Structure 1
Amino acid sequence: MDIKLDYSELLQLCRTLIQQKSYSGEEKGVSDRVKEYMLKHGYDDMIVDKYGNIIGHIKGKRKGPRILFDGHMDTVPVTQREKWKVDPFQGEMKEGKLYGRGATDMKGALAAMIFAGAQFAKDCDKDFAGDIYVAGVVHEECFEGVAAREISAYVKPDYVIIGEASELNLKIGQRGRAEIVVETFGEPAHSANPDKGNNAVYQMTKVVEAIRTLKPTEHPVLGKGILELTDIKSSPYPGASVVPDYCRATYDRRLLVGETRESVLEPIEKLFEALIKENEGMKIKISYAAGKEKCYTGEWIEGERFFPGWLFEETEQYIQDIKKEMEENGYQPKVTQYNFCTNGSHYAGEAGIKTIGLGPSRENLAHTINEYAEIEQIEKVADCYLLVMKALLK
C-alpha cells in the first residue's frame, strides 16, 4: 500500500503490551494500555464489557460492512523461568526477534491490528465505507470463543479476522475442541476385603479399552475427530487400604465441521449401554466438562467446553478479495487451516460469521520457553491488515 508506516511505533506498542503480565483473568494492564493508545490515535469510541474485553471502533464516513479484528489479551503462564534467556515481560528485541510471553500468542498480532486501524483511518481521513472494530479479548486460553460471544453480540460483524499465528498465510478453518468427562461409580470397601466393594477404577479400565475401539470421524480437509485420554483420577486419593468408589477420566475430542454436542456423545453412549449390560454393577456417566473463571472486572465467565470446528470454501468472495489484494502487494499467502482452536469456534462455528485467520509468526512458537516473534513478521502483518481493510471496505 501507499501508506508509509512508522514501525518503531508499532514495535513500541507491542513491547508495551508484552510488559503487562496478562494471564487469563489478569488482562487489565493490557486493556488499559490498549485504551490509552486508541484514545490517542483516532478511534471514535470504545467500550470495556462485563468480562473485560475492550472493543475499539473507527467509523467510516460511508455505510459499509463491519470488520472485526480479534486478538486475545491473555497468555498462558510462564513456566521454568530459569530456562528463559530473557525476561519474559520486557519485550527485548535482538537479532531480528521480539522476545516475551505473548509475542507470538498473540500480542504481536493485537498490536498490529490496533496500529493498522489507526493508520488506515488517518491515511484516508476515515473516508471509507464501513466500520472497523478491534477487540482485545479476555480468557481465550481457557475458553475459546466464550468471551467472543459478548463481542459479536455488540459489534454484529460482517467479517472477522482472527490474528492467531499463520506466518502471513490465510486460514479458512480449524478443528474444534471438546472436553468429555467420563465417570464411573462403585462401592467403597477395605482393600483387605475387596470383594465387599466395587472398584470404580476397574470399571474405568474397561471403559477406556472400549473407547479405544471406536473409529474416529473424519473430514477430507480437517482430518480425524480424535478422541484422546488426557487424565484419570480416582477417589479417595490417596486411597490407603480403601477400594476407590469413584473414578473420573477426561478426554480431548477434536471436532469436525457439523458435529454437534449430541452427535459427538451418541456413539460413546451406545458403547456404554453395551458395557452396562455386560457388567453387573457398572455405573457410568458421560458429560462435557464445564469451566468457571473470574475476570479482572469481578465478573465470572463460564461455559461448557465444547468449541465447534469451522471451514469456509476458498472460493468465497471475501477470501479471494483479501488474497488478491495481498498478492498484488507482493505477498504470496497460502490458504490453509489452523491446527489448533481459536475464537473462530464462536464467530464461524457458532455464529456463522465470515471469518479468516491472518497473523504473524509460527504457531509452534506459542506457549514456549523463550517465546518470540520475528520483528519482520510483526511489521508485515500490520501491512497485511491494511490490505484486508482495503479489500473489504470498498
Structure 2
Amino acid sequence: MPVRDGSECHDVERFLLRLLAAPSLSTQEAAAAEVLRAELVTLGFEVETDELGNVIGVLDLGPGPTILLDSHLDTVGVERPEAWSAAPSGERRGDLIYGRGAVDMKGPLAACVHGVASLGTTHDAGRIVVSGSVAEELVEGAALVPIVQRVAPDYVVICEPTAGALALGQRGRAEVVVEVTGKPCHSAYPAEGVNAAEVMAEIICEVRCLPATQHPVLGDGILVLTDLASSPLPSLSVVPARCTARFDRRTLPGELLSDVLEPIRSVAERVAAQFDASTEVSLGEATYTTYTGCAVRAACFAPAWVTEPGSTVAESALQGFASVGMTLPVSHYSFCTNGSATAGALGVPTIGYGPGAPNLAHQVDEAIALSELREGVRGYAALVRGLTSRA
C-alpha cells in the first residue's frame, strides 16, 4: 500500500489526542499499541507487533541505510488528576495539547509517525522503521534490544523530547541495592543486638562523601538515595534486623558495573564490620510481565553514551535539518533513554531528537504546543532525508 503523498496535510493533532486517550501505564500499553498500529497501517507502513508487545512499522523507500526511530508507548501514572487544569487523558486548549504523555512521549511519537509518512513519494532512499516500544519507564533499553536485533539499523534516532535540539548523548543509570543484616533484640536493651537501620545510616552518610566521577560533556556521575526500608516494619519494641537502601547512580561513558558497585561495597563492608553486621551490595533487577504476557527480567544497568559531533550520523542529521532551514543546537539528554541499549550496549550510532520541553515530563499539566508538534513533523522528515543521504 503506498504512503499518502507528502503534500497532504496529516492530522497529527488528532492522532496525538487518540494516543493520549489510550491509557498506557507500563505493562498496560495494549490500547495505545492498537492506536499506533492502526495509524501506521492507514499511513501505509508494514506493521507487526512482536512478542513483547512492541509495535514496529516499516517503510521501504528504496536503496540506502536502515533508520530506526524509537518512541516508548508507556507513561507514568497520574497521582492527582484533580490538580490538572486540563484532562490528563488529553485535551486541547489554545495552542497546547495537555495530557499524560504529551511530552513523554506520545507527542514526539505522533510527530515522528507523521513526519516519516509525509515523505510520501518524494523520497526514494532508505528503509525506515518506526517503533513504539514498551516498559521504558520500568527499565531503559530492555524492550528495544530485540527490535534492534530484528531490524539491524545502521542508525538509531531516540525520539525523546529535546526542546528541538539534537541530543548526542546521555548519562546512564544503575540501581544499586545495599542490604544490611544486624541482630534483633528488644528495643529496651539495644546493646544486646545490632540495629541494622543505624548501621545503614552510617553507610549512607559515608557513601554521600564518595567523590563523583566526571565527564566533560555529560557532567557528574551522581549517586542519590531513592528508597529506604527496615524490617520488621512496623517494629514493635524490636531493633530492626534488616535494612535495605536503593541508590540511583547516574553512569558515565566507559564505566563498568564494577566501577559503580565497588566503591559503595567497600564503604558498606567497612562500616558494617565496625558494628559486627553484614552487608551485601548488588545491582537492582526489574521483573515484569508485558501486556502480551511475556515475562521479562532485566538488570537495572543502562550504559551512558556519547556520539561525537563530527560523526557521520550527527553531520548527516544536521545537514538534513539545514536543508529545510532548521538550525539545531547540539545538546544531550539529562535523563536516561532507550539509547542506553542502542548506543551504550550495542554500539549502534545513535542520536536524539524530539519536540517538546523535557522538563514538563511527569509533571501536572504536561503539555506540548501545536507549533512544536508541527515543527517535529517537519524535523523528522528532514532528519530521515539527511540520514539517508538524500537531503
TM norm structure 2: 0.95
What are the superposed Cα offsets for residues 320-378 of structure 1, whole Å, 9 maximum, x if unpaired? 12112212322121001110011001111101111111001101111111111010111
Deviation, structure 1 residue 273: 4.1
Q: 1:75 — aligned with what?
A: 75
Q: Distance in 1 between matches of 2:211 and 2:43?
A: 54
On the 8 A contact 1:71/1:164 being kept in 2, the answer is: yes
Cα deviations by residue, 1:261-309 (Å, 9 ceiling, x for unpaired): 11111222233343355x1512111001111122110112221111111
Distance in 2 (alpha carbons) for counterparts of 1:274 and 1:242: 25
In the other structure, the counterpart of 1:46 is: 47
> Where does structure 2 lack aligned partners over 5 or more consecutive residues?
none
Letter paired with 1:346: A
Decide whether the 8 Å contact of 2:182 with 2:241 is kept in 1.
yes
Distance in 2, matches of 1:274 and 1:245, equals: 18
**Pair 1:229-2:225 in alignment:** yes
Q: In structure 1, what is the Cα distance between the partners aligned to 2:256 and 2:284?
A: 15
Q: Name the SS for the 2:65 alignment partner.
A: strand
- Aligned positions of 1:236-315 closer than 5 A: 236-277=232-273, 279-315=274-310
**Take 2:335 and 2:65, find their aligned partners in 1: how far apart are those partners?**
28
Compare 314-323 and 376-385 and name the one that shifted more: 314-323
SS in 2 for 1:103: coil
Q: 1:11 is matched with which residue: 10, 13, 22?
A: 13
Match of 2:131? 135
CA distance in 1, matches of 2:371, 2:174: 35
Q: Which residue of 1 aligns with 2:174?
A: 178
* Per-residue Cα deviation, 1:204-258 (whole angstroms, up to 9, x for no partner): 1221122122111111111111111122110001101101100011111010001
CA contact (8 A) 2:320 2:387 kept: no
The one-letter code matched in structure 1 to 2:68 is: L
Residue 140 of structure 2: SS of its match in structure 1? Answer: coil
The TM-score with structure 1 as length reference comes to 0.94
**2:24 paired residue number:** 22
1:1-394 alignment, distance < 5 Å: 3-4=6-7, 6-7=9-10, 9-43=11-45, 45-62=46-63, 64-89=64-89, 91-120=90-119, 122-124=120-122, 128-277=124-273, 279-394=274-389
**Secondary structure of 1:248's partner?**
strand
Instruction: State the AA in 1 paired with 2:157.
Output: I
Counterpart residue identity of residue 98, structure 1 = I
CA deviation map 1:128-179 (0-9, x unaligned): 2321000001101111111111111111111111111111110000001111
What SS is found at the alignment partner of 1:105? coil
Letter in 1 for 2:280: K
Contact 1:201 1:244 in 2 (8 A): yes
Aligned length: 385
Given that 1:128 and 1:393 are in contact with CA atoms closer than 8 Å, whether structure 2 keeps it comes out as: no
Of stretches 264-273 and 11-20 in structure 1, the one that deviates more from structure 2 is 264-273
The amino acid of 2:85's aligned partner reads K
Work out whether residues 147 and 301 of structure 1, in 8 Å CA contact, stay in contact via their aligned partners in 2.
no
Q: Any idea what SS the aligned residue of 1:214 has?
A: coil
Report deviation, 1:182.
0.5
Contact between 1:166 and 1:360, CA under 8 Å: does it hold in 2? yes
Kept after mapping to 2: 8 A contact 1:162/1:358: yes
Deviations 1:1-25 (A, max 9, x none): x943514x11111111111011111
Identity among equivalent positions (%) equals 38
Q: Equivalents in 2 of 1:61, 1:381: separation in Å? A: 24
- Which amino acid letter does the alignment assign opposite residue 7 of structure 2? K
| d(CA) in 2 for partners of 1:270, 1:61 | 55
Cα-to-partner distance string for 1:177-215 (whole Å, 9 max, x where unaligned): 111111110111111222221111121122112212211
372-381 or 279-288, which moves further after superposition?
A: 279-288
